[in-house]
Amino acid sequence: MAASSPPPRVESLSNPVQQLVINGEQVPENYIHRNTDDGPICASFPVTEIPIIDLGLLTSSSPTGEPELEKLRSALSSWGCFQAINHGMASSFLDKVRAVTKEFFALPMEEKQKYSRTLEDIEGYGNDTVVTEHQTLDWTDRLYLLVRPEDQRKLKLWPENPDTFRDTLNEYTEKLGQLTEIVLKAMAKSLSLDDSCFLDHCREGALMYTRFNLYPVCPRPDVILGLKPHADGSTITFLLQDKEVEGLQVLKDDQWVGVPIIPQALLINLGDQSELASNGIFKSLVHRVVTNSERERISVATFLLPHPDMEIEPANGLVNEQRPRLYKKVKNYVSLYFHNYQRGKRPIVHSKFKFIFLLFFISYGLYRKQVAQGNSWAFIEEEHHMVVHWYNVLSREV
Ligand SMILES: O=C(O)CCC(=O)C(=O)O
Ligand SMILES: [Fe+2]
């Protein structure tokens, strides 16, 4: 092969991390983070209070709901997540979801491998797809299942062991479906938009995937991550954390901070598709998972995604002359997402208008010209608004 030809395409499945641990194998090189632009990997970053939102108050029509809506808007614009309490699920039920997750991962390897994913599919039991030779792998095993729409479920990948697994997942999905409506409506209300603005993305044919994560005990937590930094590609994500073992960290003001465990809470993360639909007012949460040399950890993440044919773009009410349109229209964002994730990149960057700087450049040029001609400020302002207006109109068509 000529020296200039591209390296061969590497696409394969990696072995379950649990298998490496059981076999006592040396940690393969491709799990080690060599150049951490993202700062040191450290499990002991400060644990900080994440905003707590009472979902019962969000649905209340009395004035007590107003401050909670304001809290929600502020949490999603500054953090991109919140701890949801009073969500209608009993603590004993959340414990049951955690218990079936642990029981599944505790099964013998041959039993779990009955549900193994293939290279062509994202669903099933397994680990990262290796897409490039430079990829750093995550220290985690997963069981990834589509739970909605129900008629698209691949039941052959749904464990029959433990025997309560399927019923528990069914009930959990049902309950998260109810919460979805509450949260998406409140998100719209908090921005003074029509109630259906975010909900419309997730009605007919919307997808819901649940991912059961296991982070086995790791011999090198100083250089290995459970999950590399990412923001979810979803509209929102519901995350049920391990009840005892911490590990999730979020990026806040360029610092990694640990997320405390509130056993009865669900952490709700804002995904890229809502950042985009809110024209950047809400921020999708950048997060990662650190590993632990003493205890394994589990978590259960449920991702809510628009139907792949649905076009998502900044809401009309959030694009104006003061706030130009920041993102392009996207469709099937998740396909873009996976391609980038394994390469450690953020796909939302590709949805940003690259030529927003042009807007400022043109405005500045006009400003200089008008000042030179001695025109009034009001005239200059009017011309600036016209430029922004045309930018908004034209960027809609891209
Ligand atoms: O395990 C966690 O706490 C986070 C999981 C997560 O971020 C994901 O599955 O996308
Ligand atoms: Fe995530």
Q: What is the ipTM of this complex?
A: 0.99
Name residue 80's amino acid. Answer: G
Which ligand sits nearest to residue 241's alpha carbon? 1
Ligand 1 atom with the smallest distance to the CA of 211 is 9
> Nearest residue CA, atom 3 of ligand 1?
248
Q: Two tokens at 229?
A: 């930094």
Query: How many Å lie between the centroid of ligand 2 and the Cα of residue 178?
Result: 21
Report the side by side order of strands in the sheet with 124-126: 52-54, 81-85, 266-270, 236-241, 297-305, 207-215, 141-148, 124-126
> Nearest residue CA, atom 5 of ligand 1?
301
Strands (E), the chain: 12-13, 52-54, 81-85, 124-126, 129-130, 141-148, 207-215, 225-230, 236-241, 248-252, 255-258, 266-270, 287-290, 297-305, 311-312, 330-331
> Nearest residue CA, atom 9 of ligand 1?
301
Contact 287 CB / ligand 1 (< 6 Å): yes
Contact 227 CB / ligand 1 (< 6 Å): yes
pLDDT at 65: 67
Ligand 1 atom with the smallest distance to the CA of 232 is 10
d(CA 54, CA 10): 47
Which ligand sits nearest to residue 299's alpha carbon? 1
Report, as ranges of residue numbers, the positions in the chain whose pLDDT lies below 50.
1-8, 397-398
Contact 142 CB / ligand 1 (< 6 Å): no
**Angle (nearest 5°) at CA 246 between 25 and 128:** 45
pLDDT at 380: 64
Domains in the chain, start-ordered, CATH in brackets? 9-307 (2.60.120.330)
Contact 175 CB / ligand 1 (< 6 Å): no
Ligand 1 atom with the smallest distance to the CA of 213 is 1
> Nearest residue CA, atom 8 of ligand 1?
301
Ligand 1 atom with the smallest distance to the CA of 287 is 7
Q: Report pTM.
A: 0.88
Contacts of 251 (CB under 8 A, 6+ apart): 229, 285, 286, 287, 288
pLDDT at 2: 35
Ligand 1 atom with the smallest distance to the CA of 142 is 9
Query: How many Å lie between the centroid of ligand 1 and the Cα of residue 302?
Result: 9
Contact 213 CB / ligand 1 (< 6 Å): yes
Contact 388 CB / ligand 1 (< 6 Å): no
Q: Is the peptide bond before 324 cis (omega within 30 degrees of 0)?
A: no
Ligand 1 atom with the smallest distance to the CA of 140 is 1
Contact 211 CB / ligand 1 (< 6 Å): yes
pLDDT at 6: 43
Q: Two tokens at 150?
A: 């129900």
Query: How many Å lie between the centroid of ligand 1 and the Cα of residue 300?
Result: 7
